[in-house]
């Protein structure tokens, strides 16, 4: 058994009861839009960054999620992402969580847009929200 209570499954072996159960839970969650409470629980541990180990500000929290939650999340992300790309549902301004896009791309586009507007003698303003 792993730390999160799920049995280990040797890679390459035939499908086990645990694998079948995991598939059932995943499909159940997708169809009914319900996530079992056990999969929502994370163990939060402090991770020392640097500096004095007795200073609490030198730590950051990390969340240890159940293995099944990580696998389910990755599968759901993959399905959702494929659907969004296939059906062309992403706007060009969507930079986060996209392949081949980064914060550098957004900074470049913003800078380019501001410079073009200033060159045309337009007023430029911005509202930046970090959440």
The reported pLDDT for the residue numbered 13 is 52
pLDDT digits (tens, 9 = 90+) for 110-127: 999 999 999 999 999 988
Position 44 confidence tier, pLDDT thresholds 50, 70, 90: very high
For the chain, the DSSP string reads --TTSPPP--TTSPP-HHHHHHHHHHHHHHHHT---GGGG--EEEEEE-SS-TT-GGGEEEEEE--HHHHHHHHHHHHHHHHHHHHTT---TT--TT-TT--HHHHHHHHHHHHHHHHHTT----------
């Amino acid at each position: 058994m792993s730390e999160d209570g799920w049995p280990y499954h040797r890679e390459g072996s035939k499908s086990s009861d645990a694998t079948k159960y995991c598939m059932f839970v995943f499909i159940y969650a997708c169809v009914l839009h319900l996530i079992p409470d056990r999969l929502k629980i994370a163990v939060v541990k402090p991770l020392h960054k640097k500096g004095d180990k007795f200073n609490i500000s030198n730590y950051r929290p990390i969340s240890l999620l159940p293995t099944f939650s990580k696998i389910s999340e990755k599968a759901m992300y993959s399905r959702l992402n494929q659907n969004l790309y296939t059906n062309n549902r992403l706007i060009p301004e969507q930079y986060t969580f996209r392949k081949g896009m980064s914060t550098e791309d957004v900074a470049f586009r913003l800078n380019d847009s501001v410079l073009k507007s200033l060159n045309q003698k337009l007023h430029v303003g911005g509202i930046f929200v970090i959440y």
